[in-house]
C-alpha cells in the first residue's frame, strides 16, 4: 500500500526538486545514495529521508512517530527486527524522559506486528486491547519516568507555537 510520505523537506530541498522537475512522491522509490545525489544532500540526510519512507509506509504511523524512531537511532525496519513492542516502548519513554500517551505504545505494537507479519491491514488502534491486557497483567517497569509527556519542555514549546 502506497501512501503519501511526509518528508518535511527544507525550502532548499523543495527548490532542488522543483528545478529538476521531480515530485516528492517519487522519493519513496529511490535508494539513499540516489536521494543524496538528487537532492545534493549529505549521506546522513538521505538516510533520514529513506527512513521516513520506511517507517511511514506502515499504515497509521506518521511523520512524528517516524522522526522519533530516527531520534533513537533507527533508520530501517531491519534494525528493529526481533525487538518486542514493550522493549521498544520502554526505551522510547526512557529516551524522552517522560511517560507517553498509551496510543504510542499501541503504535509500537503495530510496528512490531508489521515487521513480523508484513500485514498492512492493521492500524495502531487495533492493538489497544492487547496493550491494556498486557499492562493489566504486568504493569510498567519500575524505572518508568514519572513526568507525563504533556509536562515536557517539547510539548510546552509545541503548544506555545500553536497559541502564537
Q: What is the mean pLDDT of the chain?
A: 93
How is residue 65 written as a grid cell?
512517530
CB neighbours of 151 closer than 8 A, spacing ≥ 6? Answer: 98
- Confidence at residue 4, expressed as pLDDT on a 0 to 100 scale: 87
Domain boundaries, the chain: 1-57, 64-164
* Per-residue pLDDT reduced to its tens digit, 95-125: 999 999 999 999 999 999 999 999 999 999 9
CB neighbours of 126 closer than 8 A, spacing ≥ 6? Answer: 110
* Per-residue pLDDT reduced to its tens digit, 1-26: 457 899 999 999 999 999 999 999 99
Q: Does the pLDDT of residue 164 top 60, yes or no?
A: no
The pTM (predicted TM-score) of the whole model is 0.89
CB neighbours of 38 closer than 8 A, spacing ≥ 6? Answer: 16, 17, 20, 22, 27, 30
Amino acid at each position: 500500500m502506497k501512501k503519501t510520505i511526509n518528508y518535511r523537506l527544507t525550502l532548499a530541498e523543495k527548490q532542488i526538486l522543483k528545478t529538476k522537475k521531480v515530485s516528492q512522491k517519487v522519493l519513496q522509490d529511490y535508494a539513499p545514495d540516489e536521494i543524496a545525489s538528487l537532492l545534493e544532500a549529505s549521506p546522513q540526510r538521505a538516510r533520514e529521508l529513506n527512513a521516513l519512507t520506511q517507517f511511514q509506509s506502515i499504515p497509521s504511523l506518521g511523520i512524528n512517530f517516524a522522526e522519533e524512531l530516527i531520534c533513537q537511532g533507527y533508520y530501517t525496519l531491519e534494525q528493529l527486527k526481533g525487538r518486542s513492542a514493550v522493549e521498544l516502548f520502554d526505551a522510547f519513554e526512557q529516551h524522552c524522559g517522560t511517560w507517553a500517551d498509551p496510543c504510542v505504545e499501541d503504535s509500537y505494537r503495530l510496528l512490531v506486528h508489521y515487521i513480523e507479519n508484513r500485514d498492512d491491514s492493521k492500524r495502531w488502534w487495533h492493538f489497544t486491547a492487547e496493550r491494556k491486557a498486557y499492562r493489566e497483567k504486568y504493569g510498567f517497569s519500575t524505572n518508568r519516568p514519572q513526568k507525563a509527556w504533556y509536562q515536557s519542555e517539547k510539548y510546552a514549546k509545541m503548544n506555545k507555537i500553536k497559541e502564537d
